[in-house]
């Protein structure tokens, strides 16, 4: 049966909360007054730089963006109301592979695809009601931005922090491009998941390793401990020694039959355990080690070449799958241990990586688990050289596993009996004296590969001249523009190679014919300095002016996902340190405080993905419940750094809450406006001050879930006061509590609170109000409830005046009828009294 519902004619209906009407109205108002625009300086206010990781313009704003940006917006608005001049910029990290994939797939230009996505995301971002400063927007794929990425590349080049070299690179056969080591995830391409293979290729790198030691310091930085640990592990500093073994190898280009066919070369190796040098029973080279070919004896050549060949075809994933079993092959060659003089066989094994240390390992099977497994597999000798204090050396050949415990040296010639820790220093000293080795520090961190054989990135401003070689483009000739229309063929070479008007150019030095570099820059370059450009986005003379950067940097709060804990956050730190040393910046670290938001999961508690069908599209939920409800629900879900599963009923609950809040606030309009204030503070007022205190602390720590819970408590108190008639008797207390509540929720529900504040008769926006303050005295109740324990077990609660002293409370507690039975016939041995908390009788 269908009936026509009556038109809303009564007063209640006319004042209903209708987010669909008020939200667009306020967004239009804010856009018209350019509310988010932040001046560089406001007299009497400190600047506060509140940064959020800029999005990649994939085309759709997903619920994860909403989560991230709502927390950032709420925190920024909170800081603004606390009196800071808050900069809250937004932009787009717009270069990258997806645009190129789209171009190949749909025959569109990456530029058109990207700009269309940005336009779409502008609309979606504006739906959030966030207080972005659109006047500072940056789009990294536009020439007025990437011109300065190129300029910075040249600064790094001049400073000797950029170099080009041919070396093995990670190569993704699907994307036809190289990847930084940091971009390889479990041996697979981070973007497409294809297994990565190794390939020799010319490429540009940045010397981030020059800053390894300084990047290990985090003095005075308010960062999650977990992220600091991850960066430390990523840099992976280890102290030890470089030991130069010697080998007789065939001279390059000579045949074995030649008279002067051989020469002695040094083979350096890094070890963290120089104290075990006398326990070396074999030596291992990485399959890619340059000496492998020359050290291999003619009889072993076939076997070694086959092994090296197989290893080069193996991806890291395949190397991993042989977990536990070590493979390798004997080269027939030997090296001499420079300390002990022992001659040991040289093997090639893929458990040794060329990229770490010197690509070689001195095999000490007795005291290293991997060396032990290798020695067992191939029947190599195992010699104990360290014995724990007070323990006799034993036959290592009989051991079932290696022993890494420290102790005193044995079987180590002149060093026998030396404590291992001292032996390390003593052996290093002897090696340095004899010129056969030295103390050394090794890092896991490698230089940053910044070349991409792609179109959709900033061109690298380098020209190759037959006469003058590699020539940087003069900085006043920037930008090197990306051509507008190109063909996309995944050939393995950048499409720029096939655009003659780009590729063919003239040498900046001699004006003769030359060619351009066709590789483009890693997009992590763009995101390593965008926070500097926000400070001075319109500057046409320089990437930024010193003056403007000094007004804002370093960033006070940086919010973004934990997936960027290492790469982006390490690169940005490196950029700032290098630019400081070049004289472009005056500070050491870009981000003072860092916060990682959690992840929104599907209602099935799983990561959202199209294949699971558990993806929540924000737009539909927003049109149903409004942006404020979605914002509040996301922040109420759980701790901001934890995320949690999406639940449709949860949004409904929050929508109901906002409606209740609305009704509680609107009710104030019906109260007499001229009422006198209460002579003594009403309970509503005490609750108000308590909640202001709590919410203020919660916001400061980005604990939005508990902030909202506290706001709900105050709302419930007001609602009860309305129902009971208390509100009518104390209209001033009620009205003031409502006014506080509306301001407290302004960061989380900006539209709703703006509307309510205006209805309360204010002409200035709620978002321009000062943050509510509290009176500490009013956060205390006049009567407090004190739990009474006997032997730690709760037996009663008693009500006493808040200022009652211990003796009074003890007397009341002891006299309580519920407590009495537990104290009868017992001796009170001890009384624990925690003021304001509890009283505990210890009886026996």
Partner RNA sequence: GCCGAUGUGGCGAAAUGGCAGACGCGGUAGACUCAAAAUCUGCUCUCCGCAAGGGGGUGAGGGUUCGAGUCCCUCCAUCGGCACCA
Residue 541 engages RNA in binding (rule: CB under 7 A)? no
User: Contact region for RNA (CB under 7 A) — 78-86, 360-368, 503-511, 726-734?
Assistant: 360-368
What's the closest the beta carbon of residue 237 comes to RNA, in angstroms?
10
CB nearer to RNA: give 404 or 586: 404
Q: Can residue 319 be called a binding residue for RNA (CB under 7 A)?
A: yes
187 or 495, CB closer to RNA? 187
Minimum distance from CB of 507 to RNA (Å)? 41
Look-up: residue for tokens 């149903």?
624
Separation between Cα atoms, residue 366 and residue 286, nearest integer Å? 21
Choice between 297 and 797, CB closer to RNA: 797
Query: Which of 119, 794, 802, 828 forms a contact with RNA (CB under 7 A)?
Result: 794
CA 762, CA 400: separation in Å to the nearest integer?
A: 81
Return the residue of 62, 244, 468, 660 that touches RNA, per CB under 7 A. 660
The answer to the question of residue 505 lying near RNA (CB under 7 A) is no
- C-alpha separations of 547 from 415, 535, 707 in Å: 61, 10, 38
Tell me which residue of 361, 365, 362 sits closest to 339, measured CA to CA: 362
Q: Which positions from 370 through 399 interact with RNA, judged by CB under 7 A?
A: 370-371
The reply on whether position 708 binds RNA by CB under 7 A is yes
Minimum distance, C-beta of residue 471 to RNA, in the bound complex (Å)? 36
Residue from 659, 729, 758, 780 binding RNA (CB under 7 A): 659
Is residue 789 part of the contact set for RNA (CB under 7 A)? Answer: yes
**CB closer to RNA out of 370 and 762:** 370
For residues 627 and 129, the answer to whether their CB atoms sit within 8 Å is: yes
Q: Is position 636 an interface residue for RNA (rule: CB under 7 A)?
A: yes
Site for RNA (CB under 7 A): which residue of 705, 758, 769, 780?
705
Please give the helix or strand (H or E) that residue 99 lies within, else none.
Answer: helix 97-106
Going residue by residue from 30 to 69, which x/- string records binding to RNA, judged by CB under 7 A? ----------------------------------------
10 Å Cβ neighbour count for 365? Answer: 26
Residue 780 interacting with RNA (CB under 7 A): no
| Closest to 382 in 3D by CA, of 368, 396, 370, 371 | 396
Q: Please tell me whether residue 663 binds RNA under the rule CB under 7 A.
A: yes
Tokens of 627: 């942006």
State yes or no: residue 74 binds RNA (CB under 7 A).
no
Give the 3-state DSSP-derived string for 695-757, with helices as H, strands as E and coil as C. Answer: HHHHHHCCCHHHHHHHHHHHHHHHHHHHHHCHHHHCHHHHHHHHHHHHHHHCCCCHHHHHHHH
**Could you tell me the two tokens for 33?**
């007054």
The correct pick among 461, 479, 644, 750 for binding RNA (CB under 7 A) is 644
The first and second tokens of residue 635, run together, are 């922040």
Of 421-450, binders to RNA (CB under 7 A) are 442, 444
Site for RNA in 249-288 (CB under 7 A): 270-273, 286
- Under DSSP, the state recorded for 403 is -
Smallest distance from RNA to CB 305, Å = 19
As a whole number of angstroms, the distance between CA 583 and CA 255 comes to 54
Decide whether 258 or 266 has the Cβ nearer to RNA: 266
Q: Judged by CB, which is closer to RNA: 366, or 463? A: 366
Q: Is 797 helix (H, G, I), strand (E, B) or coil?
A: strand
Smallest gap from residue 761 Cβ to RNA (A) = 24
DSSP 246-271: EEEEEPTT--TTSTT-EEEEEEEEEE
* 721 forms part of the interface with RNA (CB under 7 A): no
Instruction: Specify the stretch interacting with RNA by CB under 7 A; choose among 46-54, 124-132, 336-344, 631-639.
Output: 631-639
Query: Within 170-199, which residues bind RNA (CB under 7 A)?
Result: 185-186
- Quick note: the x/- pattern for RNA over 590-619, rule CB under 7 A, is ---------------x--------------
Q: Per CB under 7 A, which of residues 806..825 are in contact with RNA?
A: 818
In sequence order, what DSSP letters do the residues of 413-474 get, joined into one string? GGGTT-BHHHHHHHHHHHHHHHTSEEEEEEES--PEE-EE--SSSPBP-EEEETTTEEEEPP
| C-beta closer to RNA: residue 346 or 708 | 708
Q: Which is nearer to RNA, 51 or 813 (CB)?
A: 813
Query: Encoding tokens for residue 419?
Result: 């404590």
Is the N-terminal amide bond of 318 cis, ω within 30° of 0? no
Among 94, 396, 654, 738, binds RNA (CB under 7 A): 654
Q: Which is nearer to RNA, 102 or 449 (CB)?
A: 449
Contacting RNA within 285-314 (CB under 7 A): 286
d(CA 752, CA 740): 14
Question: Which listed residue (174, 176, 624, 716) binds RNA by CB under 7 A?
Answer: 716
Half-sphere exposure of 301 (CA within 13 A, CB side): 7
Rank residues 651 and 733 by Cβ distance to RNA and give the closer one.
Answer: 651
d(CA 760, CA 743): 12
Q: Which residues contact 822 (CB under 8 A, 6 or more apart)?
A: 790, 795, 841, 843
Q: Which of 165, 229, 491, 623 binds RNA (CB under 7 A)?
A: 229
């Amino acid at each position: 049966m269908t009936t026509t519902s009556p038109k809303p004619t009564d007063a209640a209906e006319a004042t209903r909360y209708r987010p669909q009407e008020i939200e667009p109205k306020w967004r239009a108002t804010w856009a018209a007054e350019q509310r988010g625009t932040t001046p560089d300086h406001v007299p009497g206010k400190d600047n506060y730089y509140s940064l959020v990781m800029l999005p990649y313009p994939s085309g759709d704003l997903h619920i994860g963006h909403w989560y991230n940006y709502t927390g950032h917006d709420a925190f920024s608005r909170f800081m603004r109301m606390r009196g800071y001049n808050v900069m809250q910029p937004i932009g787009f990290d717009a270069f990258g592979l997806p645009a190129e994939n789209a171009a190949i797939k749909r025959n569109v230009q990456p530029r058109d695809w990207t700009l269309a996505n940005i336009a779409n995301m502008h609309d979606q971002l504006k739906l959030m009601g966030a207080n972005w400063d659109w006047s500072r927007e940056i789009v990294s794929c536009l020439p007025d931005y990437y011109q300065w990425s190129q300029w910075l590349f040249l600064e790094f080049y001049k400073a000797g922090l950029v170099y080009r070299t041919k070396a093995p690179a990670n190569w993704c056969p699907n994307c036809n491009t190289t990847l930084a080591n940091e971009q390889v995830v479990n041996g697979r391409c981070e973007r497409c998941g294809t297994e990565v293979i190794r390939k020799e290729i010319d490429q540009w790198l940045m010397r981030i390793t020059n800053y390894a030691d300084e990047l290990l310091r985090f003095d005075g930085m308010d960062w999650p401990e977990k992220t600091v640990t991850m960066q430390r592990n990523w840099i992976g500093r280890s102290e030890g020694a470089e030991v130069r073994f010697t080998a007789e190898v065939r001279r390059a280009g000579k045949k074995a039959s030649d008279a002067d066919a051989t020469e002695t070369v040094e083979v350096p190796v890094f070890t963290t355990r120089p104290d075990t040098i006398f326990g070396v029973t074999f030596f291992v080279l990485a399959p890619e080690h340059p000496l492998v070919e020359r050290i291999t004896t003619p009889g072993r050549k076939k076997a070694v070449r086959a092994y090296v060949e197989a290893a080069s075809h193996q991806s890291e994933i395949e190397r991993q799958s042989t977990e536990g079993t070590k493979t390798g092959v004997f080269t027939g060659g030997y090296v001499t241990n420079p300390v002990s003089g022992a001659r040991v066989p040289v093997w090639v094994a893929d458990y040794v990586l060329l990229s770490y240390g010197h690509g070689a390992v001195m095999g000490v099977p007795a005291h290293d688990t991997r060396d032990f497994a290798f020695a067992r597999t191939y029947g190599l000798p195992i010699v104990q050289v360290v014995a724990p204090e007070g323990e006799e050396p034993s036959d290592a050949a009989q051991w079932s596993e290696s022993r890494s415990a420290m102790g005193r040296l044995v079987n180590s010639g002149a060093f026998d009996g030396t404590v291992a820790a001292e032996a390390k220093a003593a052996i290093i000293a002897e090696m340095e004296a004899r010129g056969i080795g030295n103390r050394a520090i090794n890092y896991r961190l490698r230089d940053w590969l910044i070349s991409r054989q792609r179109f959709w990135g900033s061109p690298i401003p380098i020209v190759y001249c037959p006469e003058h070689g590699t020539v940087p483009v003069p900085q006043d000739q920037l930008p090197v523009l990306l051509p507008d229309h190109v063909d996309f063929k995944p050939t393995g070479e950048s499409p720029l190679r096939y655009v003659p008007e780009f590729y063919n150019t003239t040498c900046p030095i001699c004006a003769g014919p030359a060619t351009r570099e066709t590789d483009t820059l890693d997009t992590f370059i763009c995101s390593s300095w965008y926070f500097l450009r926000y400070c001075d986005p319109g500057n046409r003379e320089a990437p930024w002016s010193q003056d403007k950067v000094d007004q804002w940097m370093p960033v006070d709060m940086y919010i973004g996902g934990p997936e960027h804990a290492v790469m982006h956050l390490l690169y940005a730190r490196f950029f700032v340190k290098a630019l400081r040393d070049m004289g472009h910046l005056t500070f050491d670290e870009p981000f003072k405080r860092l916060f990682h938001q959690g992840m929104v999961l599907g209602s099935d508690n799983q990561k959202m993905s199209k294949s699971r069908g558990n993806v929540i599209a924000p737009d539909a939920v927003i049109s149903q419940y409004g942006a404020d409800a979605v914002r509040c629900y996301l922040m109420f879900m759980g701790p901001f750094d934890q995320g949690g599963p999406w639940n449709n009923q949860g949004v409904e609950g929050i929508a109901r809450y906002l409606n209740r809040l609305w009704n509680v606030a609107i009710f104030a309009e019906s109260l007499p406006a001229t009422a006198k204030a209460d002579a003594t503070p009403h309970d509503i007022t005490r609750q108000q001050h308590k909640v202001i205190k709590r919410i203020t602390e919660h916001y400061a720590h980005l604990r939005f879930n508990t902030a909202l819970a506290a706001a709900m408590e105050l709302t419930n108190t007001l609602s009860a006061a309305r129902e009971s008639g208390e509100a009518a008797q104390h209209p001033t207390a009620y009205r003031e509590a409502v006014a506080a509540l509306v301001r407290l929720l302004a960061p989380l529900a900006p539209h709703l609170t703006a509307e309510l504040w205006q209805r309360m008769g204010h002409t200035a926006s709620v978002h321009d109000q000062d943050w509510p303050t509290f009176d500490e005295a009013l956060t205390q109740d006049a009567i407090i409830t004190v739990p009474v324990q006997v032997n730690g077990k709760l037996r009663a609660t008693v009500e006493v005046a808040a200022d009652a002293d211990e003796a009074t409370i003890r007397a009341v507690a002891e006299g309580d009828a519920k407590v009495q039975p537990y104290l009868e016939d017992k001796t009170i041995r001890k009384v624990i009294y925690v003021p304001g908390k509890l009283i505990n009788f210890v009886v026996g």
